[in-house]
Amino acid sequence: MSKIKTIYICNHAHTDIGFTDFQDHCIRQHGEFVDSALDLIEATDDYPAEAQYRWTVETTGPFLSYLRGASKDQIRRFRHWHEQDRVDIAAMQYNLTPLLTIEQMHRSLYPLRAIRDEFGFTVEAAMQDDVNGVSWLFADLLADLGINFFTAAINPVRGARPKPFPGAFRWQGPSGKQGLAWNGYHYLFGRNQAGLGNWDLVDRQLPRWIEGLESDDSYEFDFLYCESTHPVRVDNGPPDPRMPDFVRDWNADQRPIRMQFLTVTEFGRLLEENYAGVIETQRGDWTDHWADGVGSSAFETGINRATHELLGMSEAVESWLRSTGGSTWEPANAAAAYESAALFDEHTWGAYSSVEAPNSLFSRALWNRQAGYAYAAAMEAHNMGAKAANQLAAPLGTKGPEGIFNLGDLEPEEAFKPSGIDEVLVINTLPWEREVIVEEPEPRGGAAPDGILDCFFNVPSVRRLDIGAQGISDPIQPVRAHSQGAAAPLGV
């Protein structure tokens, strides 16, 4: 008698922001998929329960964009089927790489809060696909937000999977909090590897997977769980209308193994209710081994990593300004900067054609947009930092004379008169002292763009100041350090 009794199918679209389509189009498409899934749910409502279609929204980033542009009727329709457990929402913003900072990880869960607080939807589970792992802190963050189940569907190409595979464990975070986790097959496993939905393939492809689980003494479960995307559009693909009929007809054929649709939340509940006794606890980082994009875009990756730090420094300076009532903080601009940084750190690195046709319009357009996320985040972060630093510096000193726009008719000494500056403000935005070298930009009498940090302009006359824990020492000119307690040249 077969050990495997049921094949559980979780149908969803894999979120690749880019790869198959221009990034902006992908975000819109995932909203369109929601409406298509609801159509299929309604069309199969009179099917046997196991074959009634179910859809899981894989990521919250595109979904929140859909909700905020949806009509009241669209939201009412989604709510109805969500309450019937026929359409589900998973909690991760995108399929994320470990490039994110701690602040980014927190902000990646803001859409989850909005989906709950603004729209009242229930979210209990999270899923991350394609990437080999997820940063360990998410074990704590998800638990803190009531997400008690997490699934990973790893792409093992040039990567690795942890054990147990496939299998479940309780994933314990750094703080000791824990949640149930499932380490499963590739996200396109059901449709493309097991042949589900295709009568020409299923009887040839499915048996070896069943036999593999039944011969594995370490596999404690009596089911095969498989995620299933569209057979052609495996990434950013719509719901598959052939699957409900396939499941209905498979079960009507009285085969020994049943098939059943479920959502990721229903799968988590099933594991907790029926298999808790065979699930052990594991602690540690779920490391990502697959990071091709990082090496292929080293310059932009470096820009984005520097932007991470500048965003944090800007917020630190703004926090001091808020304490004095002088803050210029603009939350919408900060959110846009963090979103751009996250979209670069998301796991998609350009078009599927980037190797075979790197110079095609499609490949170039998608890389331009991908790289643009890093540059957009950097420019917004520099603007935030410059505004905050100038605001903080304003009451501490007097600006030098304005410069004159010079078409080349004036000597530099006449266009930019001596500023008389003999002090430099250096802001330490970390809570400890350290020794650094800061570049002092050449004073230009306000000639630099208002929202750009002076350190962008690496002119030969820049002086290097050796800043120690106790201040600045410069044999050329006496200066004073203003330290609030790792140093950043945010304003002169």
Residue-range domain boundaries for the chain: 6-283, 292-395, 400-492
Instruction: Give the residue-averaged pLDDT of 399-421.
Output: 74
Window from 59-73, 150-164, 243-257, 430-444 with minimum mean pLDDT: 430-444
CB 358 within 8 A of CB 351: no
Residue from 433, 490, 440 nearest 465 by CA: 440
Pairing of strands 258-261, 149-154: unpaired
Please give the CATH architecture assigned to the domain spanning 6-283.
Alpha-Beta Barrel (3.20)
pLDDT at 472: 39
CA distance linking residue 240 with residue 250, whole number of Å:
16
Instruction: With a cut of 90, say whether residue 246 has pLDDT above it.
Output: yes
Q: Which residue has the tokens 């209990």?
A: 124
The answer to whether the bond into 443 is cis (omega within 30° of 0) is: no
Instruction: With a cut of 90, say whether residue 41 has pLDDT above it.
Output: yes
Mean pLDDT of the chain: 87
Instruction: Give the residue-averaged pLDDT of 247-269.
Output: 97
pLDDT at 393: 81
Q: Please write the tens of the pLDDT for every residue from 78-130.
A: 999 999 999 999 999 999 998 999 999 999 999 999 999 999 999 999 999 99
Q: Which residue has the tokens 């800061």?
A: 438
Q: How confident is the model at residue 2 (pLDDT cuts 50, 70, 90)?
A: confident
pLDDT at 81: 98
Q: How confident is the model at residue 440 (pLDDT cuts 50, 70, 90)?
A: low
